[in-house]
Structure 1
């Protein structure tokens, strides 16, 4: 057992197998809001707790998978290229939507932390929550935040967007494909884009470009916002 859990392959295998199980559960139950990421996270925690396996043993393999997150996002360029004309046509609304999304997300986080007396370390860790993990990791490191907590906030934002994004669109009767894509891409990054892809190719393309724009804006705006804290 020691030999298995001390091998980096343990973390890789556990992550992949639990994600597959989560995906199958989602298909079997037919629950669109039940993200495999949620299910796999719960299963991984259960395995580590029940078998009393240190997180550091799992992290060896998980870090290898994390390394491939940034290169994997290149695949999103395919729908982006296929819908380039639409993106050019609506570039300014997309840019403005992302700007508002990043600004409002950061300001509301600051206000809520101030109201509830949350420490500055947690506040800093919360600021990159709306950008993809590859960018959020670097921002968190740059501003002196707690990287692990930043990653948790990023995942939570992604899960919320994936789980309830479509429902929110139905409640508020948001049927415009560009608006849907911008909302999911700018607020819930890769998981939101995965949901956008499920809604349609145009939504997915807009969400893809929104991830990139939001990441660039976050790198520029978050350090500026920090000057006012």
Structure 2
């Protein structure tokens, strides 16, 4: 039995199929519950981790196929430019607030991790892994590698950050009376990347477009700022 399992899992197709099946299960649970906490990405991650643990399949075997999925993350992120292009006039109109808000948001995302991490005494490598938590996964993985962090930890932090923003955004906007669609979109995109953008799109076209834009801004600024923060640490 182990020999058969070893032959099956030692092919790239295995990782792709497991990833797709796990995500489809996550989508099914999410659609049935309608609860943001049951985010398909989180459910899929738990399923894959559980499967590998209980079957004893090595991670390197899974990654033979999973790397194909990772490869397509970057092109998928580019698609976010579509809603931005549709609202290009808004970008021109609110250029200064958008760029200013993006810079402040990106700095806050990094500095807050450093401060909280230092207070809690988090290991240096873990701290570096958490720093790109607020940017989209493809960029976050590369930033983590560049800093010397642990990409798998970074991905987990990105997922948790996105789900938290997705769930908490409506409540936060209500408490602080944030009503402007541009502000809502920027806040979600800067803090919660693509998962937050999915919530922004539900709020409206303007929110979705601004959130997509802020993902790009956050990614670029984090790439520039993270190495500087690392040198200070």
Structure 1 runs (4+) deviating above 4 angstroms are none
Question: Quick check: 2:101–2:186 contact (8 Å CA) kept in 1?
Answer: yes
Paired position in structure 1 for 2:80: 76
Partners of 2:183 and 2:29 lie apart in 1 by: 30
Change (3 A) 1:185 1:21: same
Q: 1:144 to 1:29 in 2, by over 3 A?
A: closer
Find the counterpart in structure 1 of residue 61 from structure 2.
Answer: 57
| Counterparts of residues 1-229 of structure 1 (less than 5 Å) | 1-229=5-233
Gaps of 5+ in 1: none
Pairwise CA distance, 1:33:
4.0
Q: For the aligned residues, what is the CA RMSD?
A: 1.7
Alpha-carbon distance in structure 2 between the residues aligned to 1:85 and 1:164 = 29
8 Å contact from structure 2 (residues 182, 206) kept in 1: yes
Structure 1 residue 88: Cα displacement: 1.5
Deviations 1:40-94 (A, max 9, x none): 1122222222222222221221111001100111211211111111121112111
Q: 2:42 touches 2:159 (CA, 8 Å); kept in 1?
A: no
Count of equivalent residues: 229
The 10-residue stretch of structure 1 (83-92 or 146-155) with the greater mean CA deviation from structure 2: 146-155
C-alpha distance in 1, partners of 2:34/2:132? 32
Deviations 1:166-195 (A, max 9, x none): 333234332221111111111111111122
> TM-score, length-normalised on structure 1?
0.92
Secondary structure at 1:130 match in 2: coil
TM-score between the two structures when normalised by the length of structure 2 = 0.91
SS at 1:174's partner residue? coil
